Amino acid sequence: MYTGLQHLHSGIAYLALLSLIIVIVLMLVGALTGRAFTEKDRKIAMIAFIFAHVQLLVGLILYFVSPLGFSLLTSGEAMSDPAARLTALEHPLINIIAIIVISVGYIRAKKMTVSRSRFRSIYMMYAIGLLLILSRIPWANWL
């Protein structure tokens, strides 16, 4: 089960990162060209939103099932080892913050009425979330 969750978490990560990049580019183009924000744009942004949240959910399950997650943090050994600290604390915490930032961007855009502001809310907040995610990916452990 643990190995399957690891592979699922890695596989969804590719989809989440790719969808975030695509949405950022599409929303930036939409803002720069001045076109109207449509229902199609909202649905495209929602796809990245959903992938990011599914990735978070699988990651949280993996965190509590994994021998490298919560148990490493509670043992007290994680803070002295940079790799363990990344796995046990930094990766989950920063990625939760990134998902919150992405959520705020999407929810704000839904409430706005001006198209350019809607595009801007999504591409800026999604880009900040993407940078946070990329900053704390354990690249050495990625399957």
Going residue by residue through the chain, which has 143 residues, state the pLDDT in tens, using 9 for 90 and above. Answer: 788 988 999 999 999 999 999 999 999 999 999 999 999 999 999 999 999 999 999 999 998 888 777 777 777 777 888 877 888 888 999 999 999 999 999 999 999 999 999 999 999 999 999 999 999 988 776 65
Nearest residue to 109 via CA among 126, 96, 94: 126
Closest C-alpha to 126, from 58, 63, 44, 61? 44
**Residue 131: CA atoms inside 13 Å, Cβ hemisphere, count?**
7
Statement: the pTM of the whole predicted model exceeds 0.85: yes
Tokens of 31: 């803002």
Domain that holds residue 63: 2-141
Give pLDDT, residue 143.
Answer: 54
Contacting residues for 21 by C-beta, under 8 A, at least 6 apart: 130
State the pLDDT at residue 138: 83
Number of domains in the chain: 1
pLDDT at 78 (0 to 100): 72
Instruction: In whole angstroms, give the CA distance from residue 60 to residue 108.
Output: 25
State the pLDDT at residue 142.
Answer: 63
